[in-house]
Structure 1
């Protein structure tokens, strides 16, 4: 899959091809308009390296492939396509031709010489929120899945010349679609009823139970492995967490829930939980700290400040002037809004940029993802941008498994660690949790912890919090190294250029420079960046326990 948010303008499509019988593949073409037009891909034969090497003495013998014209290896091909073109297409077709002018056929037919199935190769493209999902015809080996299996289940005919799509008169063929199956989160055959009293017995840190869509789950077994930390499960114990869970978790996480399902909450229990939603009792005395990890609390939008064309700072008024937010350094909170039409909960996690000690207000930096021709904008950011001053917003927290305690001492899932150096890797609005930790280190003159910040963006104006980052770096040169990298840098740019990837990390995140347990890498950014950075860091010697993803 490809994340559309913060993605590069182009995407490299690549694959491999084989002709058989020593015949060399001479052309590989791709189409995104069902074969109306084709584009030529670049082809590379790894075995050509041996031909180009000429005569070589190897292992006591002579190697000479200069004269051989047959190609018995797979070739590798690639072509760069714009992300906008891919997003506008429903599928990607590939065909190859060899030096005997044998061309892959358009239609599928049974052929022994063609490996029984050798038509154009088709990959479907679907849009899922902020992602493009690429689906191959089948999955490897005997694994279920692939668009062919889906089309067959929906009754489509794969040999109709339109890849199983329906043909209705002279109109363009319509694809056979299958309604998205609801993800099963309950154990088959389990019909145990759980009362509200039973649930309340598990509303603490010992064997925490929580409710999603009326079903009860035991989170005990997942406390250590939960990406959001054990506190996020503790805060849900004994409560209905349907909105938070369904809005934030992936389909993969939802499928795992069957392992933790222990029963269904009875009707009386569901009624009781439905009345305990947002606010504490009106008679309750306002606390010194605003946030509550077990209930949603309301703050009022006080001002909106435009930072750039797509970035705003939202200032929210807390319950009283002397109240602080109550957010530990390095942790984040959840914001909840309701869709004005469907009343569906929209929930996202954010890290405020205001000082943790600030009284009466909190500031949240939000990047707005607007609608474009290629994709729909971000639900939460657009909803935030449309809020009028004076409107309330719901907050809950703190959440997160990391906390910076000061002077190099941090805690991960409650377990304290002493480190000497933070390597901070971020992109776009992923700077906000990094900034909180960075500021805490820089403001404490007695804190000798060193920080190396690698901040990636597209344009110079996309760099968020730059004025404050530069000021802290200038005042703390002995313990700070601040590195910006741009993918579309201006001519006079003196910083780094390119994406945050293996080459930059090999140069600026060298594992051998630190002793065991001496450094920790903090990472926050788009999912695609986090995955690529994770892989690159492991390849250069970092361990998973030394990496912290916000």
Structure 2
């Protein structure tokens, strides 16, 4: 069990390699005629263009020491191209700072100002992020004792790290006469900060008792100062029969200073710079591999499963009848349970009582209530992850009597092509008031809307205009509510929630960006 941190969950995905083009920062600073260290030029501060909410409203800013900024061996550049193309908005257009081997929080995107000063950056984000505190420092202690402002806790250069990419998460390795005749190749990547070369990568399949040395491929050449900035790739051929006896596979790397990775995770408040052995667990039942976490916002991984063990105890809401999972219920009975006091739904012929989950639903209570008392199979499948589908079983109370019944979803699903009409369904309840114009939305019905215009705002942003069924109608969406945009693509319902950008007074159409 690992105590949660307050940091962002990167998983093992917070690293990559690109080809950057730009102007050396040291040349720009020299051209500007900055002062010497003796005259107070101690820090180089970088500031972005956008105002952010942190600290009562400020721009993202950070800083590095002047001697680092002026060191030509560091290859620090003001970048305007990535992988042969101009920077995209997501990656910092028109210009950003690139500091190889450093923590990404120092590489300010959408760079607007560079300031050479005696003090470090005073940005809220410089002090409140990218820190490694001692393990005993929790959030309360960090605030009370001012740990955020301790310069010894700031992260600059990355540490040594390595990751297993093959076997991938949930990969299944069949064990048969064909697979056991040839080796299985383990693969992954490794890197170190500060331009230090990864000298060695090792793999263990017995908990660290013995280690096997991997083949390491350095695709890059060092710069003229001997520094390595890119990740390297490692591989190791192992016998499949050796994998059969392994409960887990772990990897560690060594850099040119012979720093290596610790066996166990060292907890810190923001969860940063954790570089313990990367472990992939192997199931004894057919070789199913599990990574500790998954990249980005994906759910899953053996660490997440250990943090959230299944609880077999299912609480019963006041609206749940005394019945077991074999209970058979008619659709007419389900339709009666369509309120906040008793909210039932049908998914794939199973009936679920969602009443006790209303207040906890991430999308708000109205997202469930609009479908309460109906068969919402297609809608549920279109917008929920596998994890959410597994959670649903906790609320199962019976089975639907299917005789002579056609589901609401099946009856109303759009039977159109990918480029045909879309359907709109309202996410939250609409308060009935006297309307000066006809209103298009009729919850929870789907209404067909035709795409009539598409405008390019930027290279990756589009405005789509949809015509309402009647030219004299307004959409009728209350402030703060969303709509579901639905379309059948490859014979499967696709549904996403959107907030229109057009005003509530627009007649005959609405816009989505």
Shorter-chain TM-score tier: 0.3 to 0.5
Q: TM-score w.r.t. structure 2 length?
A: 0.39
